[in-house]
Amino acid sequence: MYPPLAFTFGWSVGMIALLDAGADPFCALILALRYKDDLALSLLLEYDCALFSSSQAISKKEPYRRLNSYNSILSFALGLYEASDKAKTLIASRLVSHRRRLVNLAAVMLSSTERQNACMEAMSDRRLPDRFAKPVVLALRKKGIMVPDVLWPGDGQCSIYHDLNMTLRIAEQLYSGGFQLVDDMDETGVTPLQIACMTAGIYKERWELISWYLDKGAMPYFRNPNQPKTCYLAITSSLSNERITDIKKSAESVIRRILGRTYDLCGPEIVDSCICYCSAYGCTPVQLLHKRYGGDWSWTSAKFNHWAYLNDLTLMQKESCGEELCRLEIFERIGMAHTCCEFKHNPCAYGERLMPSDEDCHELREEDKYFSQALELYMCIYRYLRREHFGPFSNFWCSWWTTINEILPEKAWISHKLGGHDYVPNIDEIRSSVQSELRNYNLEDYEDVFLDSISMFS
């Protein structure tokens, strides 16, 4: 199960003897990472250890099996809890060294035209080829030039920055070493900034990486059709299942600064491509933040208020966001079906969403057609009451949900789903509660509420 090199950890003389005799350092490298033996790791790396798993026959047994899901040793180290910061730095440094050797070999052996054909235009300013390193190796081999296995850049079609666990420290090290194309796209159109945004979480280290990508010129707009279109929307979507009220004070200022920056870059008018009833014209950030991860209403409301604080929303902006969240919450309480997305639970999918087929969307929308009218009714009442209430939005917000919680409990969607599409809100209850709320607001003409036209739901 373990290679002979594994039994030389802590015994440098024995390790060097085996390495000099031709022992393969690759599998021992994995063990050195797991056991935090940075001295052994350093020795192994000095013996031209391959850094990309695709060039090796990886065992399906532990401790090597996990490596099959990673493109490189660096990616493996970044995702390994046991790996030390020093170990990650050593591997990144060796990766830069290997790539520089490849560039120098190509500079000597390939003509200017051949280098251009191999996507090596960046050589002139000392930048290292990243995603396009593989064509360089293939061009060299086509000319019959022996390229050492350790210089093989892997089979992946993505850059070294396309990593779920990339850290700011390693990114800076790679960039200073020559990997300066930080905004490259993989075969699906995903960029490193997009990955960082989709995995932002509530810890400031991820947010600092987002800021760093933007500082290096990464574009805040994305092309993958199954993901949010901007970095601001992607960040918001990544927080949907996070308890943002738990953000530490030490991270709060960083998160607020970067939210403000991405908001200014992307603009408030940008929405996603949602076409289902949960939004009026595409999901807005506050809807992406709450979609599908409701919890109880007290938590949802607290999350909404903290989001407004983190984004430093004005009163008017908060009012607008409140209406958008109201629509989503009513939509989900009624039990209507989302036709905008289905989330992948693959950690390597960078939060990608699978769009239902057109046929499925049409069928779901037809089933929910009458419920959409009930949804619009709720929103008409919401807007009417808000216009007629001259007090603070926070007071209205509390009064509105006190009423809705009585009419349409948070778990109403369960009975709807179990009973099929025969559930509709009780309009008599709505009428009575609305009128009661209007009296609480001391309005004289509460009978003007437009309810008669929806008598079909009675």
Mean pLDDT of the chain: 79
Question: Over the stretch 166-215, which tens digit does the pLDDT of each residue have?
Answer: 999 999 999 999 999 999 988 888 999 999 999 998 888 899 999 999 99
> Is residue 193 included in any domain, yes or no?
no
> Is residue 344 included in any domain, yes or no?
yes
Angle, helices 38-46/12-20, rounded to nearest 10 degrees: 20
Helix (H) or strand (E) holding 441: none
Which of residues 130, 161, 181 is at a domain's end? 181
> Is residue 111 included in any domain, yes or no?
yes
One-letter amino acid of 53 = S
Q: Residue 7: is its pLDDT beyond 90?
A: no
Q: Residue 235: is its pLDDT beyond 50?
A: yes
- Tell me how long the chain is: 458
> Is residue 325 included in any domain, yes or no?
no
One-letter amino acid of 104 = N
Q: Residue 135: is its pLDDT beyond 90?
A: no
- C-alpha 391 chain-centroid distance: 39
Question: Over the stretch 291-318, which tens digit does the pLDDT of each residue have?
Answer: 765 567 888 888 899 999 999 999 999 9
With beta carbons less than 8 A apart as the criterion, state whether 449 and 381 touch. Answer: yes
For residue 266, the tally of other CB atoms under 10 A from its CB is: 20
Which of residues 119, 146, 181 is at a domain's end? 181
pLDDT of residue 363: 75
pLDDT of residue 426: 52
Helix (H, G, I), strand (E, B) or coil at 343: strand
Which of residues 181, 209, 225 is at a domain's end? 181
> Is residue 362 included in any domain, yes or no?
yes
Domain extent for 105: 1-181
> Is residue 151 included in any domain, yes or no?
yes
Domain count, the chain: 2
Q: Residue 125: is its pLDDT beyond 70?
A: no
pTM to 2 decimal places: 0.82
> Is residue 230 included in any domain, yes or no?
no
> Is residue 302 included in any domain, yes or no?
no
